[in-house]
Structure 1
């Protein structure tokens, strides 16, 4: 009933001009003719009603329009603000694929675009454009995987979904959100794990194949050859030792990963620790024709750490310097600090050997990465030493900095605390 009355009122309002004219004519008729007074009064009433209706209706419509704008504007503003808070690139699209909004992450990834531009002017991959078109035709939610090759390889999970009950202010049409979830880090971790398993399997398979081959030979052709048997046993012992070192390093990495979040709290004086390692490595250095020189302050250099793990770090670095920098004949180990509190403590291990080509330096701490595979294996390396060093230093909130020049040698610097660059 209420809606019926509203419709009648609306129709009267639409015919207000006619009503005004009719009311005026009725009034004049009562004044200049024999029309009854009640008819004149009816005319006046119609005049007042017709005159008042436009004012009330106009104000009502104005209020209704303002209320709609006030309801939509905050809603759109909230949507855009929420988009801006996302770490992932997000785009708001209107029907047809025109851009309504790009958040800061999207601008950084794809560049800025004006509102109203078509999505195809920002993104060219056909798979993404086809997915957007399909979503807008069906109103469904879809996602695909997308790989960016330039400037570096990055993986994204691209998803489009309609923003239900969110209307565009201008046309009242539905909006769509297109998001790009960066999966590059997880993909790299998956690839790293796969590479690690493949490399570990390969490293173990080689000595195992050697052992199997020599055992088969000793049981067959060399069964009655004492000289060959003695030579083969020596090689087998060496290969077994290689497997042992590899398994030990793999176990060390596994243990370090389990406690990577646990920061050591014990206090360790690096001065006697480095002296101890230098003394233990001097026989090896002498066999290689290398001299180890240490330079440390007279006072203590205390850092928070695990003594056994720090021994493993510096023993690895100094042993590598002796083996790979032996042509320089000298290894310099230098300890320094801004004060004795453990802040800014640095330990430098420097050799004067052949050096490392620049392109290899960033990858030295990767698992099983070797500058020279043959040189590493000939020196009984597993390819995991510097990876272990990196994991230990990460747990100690320290870092490894490498400087190397071909023909002049290499320097490995361990920085603890606020040691800066």
Structure 2
């Protein structure tokens, strides 16, 4: 007969899970929501303040009313830019695992972007100088997204460059991309100005990060331009490199894989 007084063994299972990455993602999401709320609240508060003023004493002062309406328009445009860039960033992040497959010419995109922004450069006494290697091969990519990349980079070069200086656009071949080792094409945008301190460079592509917050906002920056650049370059399986010397020059270099017909 079995011994009814005998104790059965007790088993226990311990499961250990590393939640570090989960906590990190939760913090990133929390910070993102807080930043978006702050960026939208500032212009919204300004708009509400000016509306209240226009409904009061300023309603009988045409000059003050015109000035306030101009500021309100500027703040509304800032909110619109922020929303547009949030939507762009969200789309690029969602599609980052899908490599674009259109065959395009980078030098043509650079020519179009330079033509589009040349008037802004001339307003600061700047000259855009483009140096393109001959017989560049095409790349595989998305023309609209790469246009956004180079518009953002060239726009920053104009905004943060010193007046009456040159902005250099260099386009050429690169033998091996850093991450993949495949041959590619590089595009460098170089300006002369205050430069970026070395300790700030690793954080430049973070969402809403600004080296000079006051100056960035006064120029209409949203703090998302370089984050968009980073994600578009990643989607193209490319590489982004930043070099800067304080009070000298700053270069942003985008490297992209060449078109390879054997991959199609």
TM norm structure 2 = 0.88
**SS state at 1:223 partner:** helix
Distance 1:217 1:301 in 2: 59
Distance 1:276 1:370 in 2: 28
How many residues are paired up? 243
**1:316 and 2:152 matched:** yes
The answer for the alignment partner of 2:220 in structure 1 is: 380
The answer for the alignment partner of 2:114 in structure 1 is: 278
Q: Is the 8 A contact 2:47 2:75 kept in 1?
A: yes
1:325-344 residue pairs with structure 2 within 5 A?
Answer: 325-327=161-163, 329-338=165-174, 343-344=183-184
Distance 2:13 2:163 in 1: 64
The answer for the alignment partner of 1:217 in structure 2 is: 53
The answer for the alignment partner of 1:415 in structure 2 is: 255
The answer for the alignment partner of 1:184 in structure 2 is: 20
The answer for the alignment partner of 1:368 in structure 2 is: 208
Q: CA deviation at 1:186?
A: 2.4
Q: For structure 2, which runs of at least 5 residues remain unmatched after alignment?
A: 1-9, 176-181, 259-264
Q: Relative CO higher for 1 or 2, CA cutoff 8 Å, sep ≥ 6?
A: 2
TM norm structure 1 = 0.56
Distance 1:404 1:197 in 2: 31
Q: Is the 8 A contact 1:332 1:350 kept in 2?
A: yes
**Highest CA radius of gyration, 1 or 2?**
1
Distance 1:327 1:358 in 2: 23
Q: Higher helix fraction: Structure 1 or Structure 2? A: 1
Q: CA deviation at 1:244?
A: 0.5
1:29-108 residue pairs with structure 2 within 5 A?
Answer: none
Q: CA deviation at 1:287?
A: 1.1
Distance 2:198 2:18 in 1: 30
Distance 1:182 1:288 in 2: 53
1:222-271 per-residue CA deviation (whole Å, 9 max, x = no partner) reads 11111110000000000000000000000101111221111001011111
Call closer, same or farther: CA 1:301–1:317 in 2, change over 3 Å. farther
Q: Is the 8 A contact 1:328 1:351 kept in 2?
A: no
Alpha-carbon RMSD: 1.7
Q: Is the 8 A contact 1:328 1:353 kept in 2?
A: no
1:3-402 residue pairs with structure 2 within 5 A?
Answer: 140-142=12-14, 159=16, 181-327=17-163, 329-338=165-174, 343-402=183-242
Structure 1 runs (4+) greater than 6 angstroms displaced: none
Q: CA deviation at 1:404?
A: 0.8
- Aligned counterpart for 2:246 among listed residues 379, 395, 406: 406
